[in-house]
Amino acid sequence: MNTNPSVLMRTLRWFDPRGRALSNFGFVLNRITGLGLTLYLFLHLIVLGLIARGPDAYNEFLRLIESPIMKLGELLVVAALFIHGLNGIRIGLNSVGIAVPRQRELFIGVLVLSVIAIAFFGWKMFLA
């Protein structure tokens, strides 16, 4: 295995938060949530294929999704949807030159709105 130290160091520097603007983390966050939502889509299609096997499989699926771990997974999907969607709007605005000097404030606003929405959905899923 060829391990070039310069490639390794460049890769590790990508994870170093020092010297980066806050809005740069928005781009990284958008990519991570996008990958997570893509993974969820594939898992969702697999589950749909499994429950298409009949009423017994569907009833078993309904029992499974009532578990707290599955509800937490659903909350993570909702969180990724809000973060990815709102952050995508911010990135789109930046791409067309709108509010470019205000990227930090927009990113903080995206995070605040996302946390409020995630907390609301978490409350509805677990407590209401």
- Assign residue 89 the CATH number of its domain: 1.20.1300.10
Is residue 6 situated within a structural domain?
Answer: no
**Is 116 within a domain?**
yes
pLDDT of residue 41: 95
- Does residue 8 belong to any structural domain of this protein? no
Distances (CA, A) of 79 to 41, 96, 108: 15, 26, 16
Q: Would residue 2 count as lying in a domain?
A: no
Identify whether 115 is part of a domain.
yes
Q: Does residue 93 register a pLDDT over 80?
A: yes
Tokens describing residue 110: 């995206």
Q: Quick one: 91 exposed, middle or buried, by C-beta within 10 A (0-12, 13-18, 19+)?
A: middle
CB-CB neighbours of 111 under 10 Å: 17
Is residue 122 assigned to a domain? yes
pLDDT of residue 113: 97
Read off the pLDDT band of 72 (50, 70, 90).
very high
Domain count, the chain: 1
pTM (2 decimals)? Answer: 0.78
Q: How confident is the model at residue 110 (pLDDT cuts 50, 70, 90)?
A: very high
Domain assignment present for residue 3? The answer is no
Q: Which domain holds residue 90?
A: 22-126
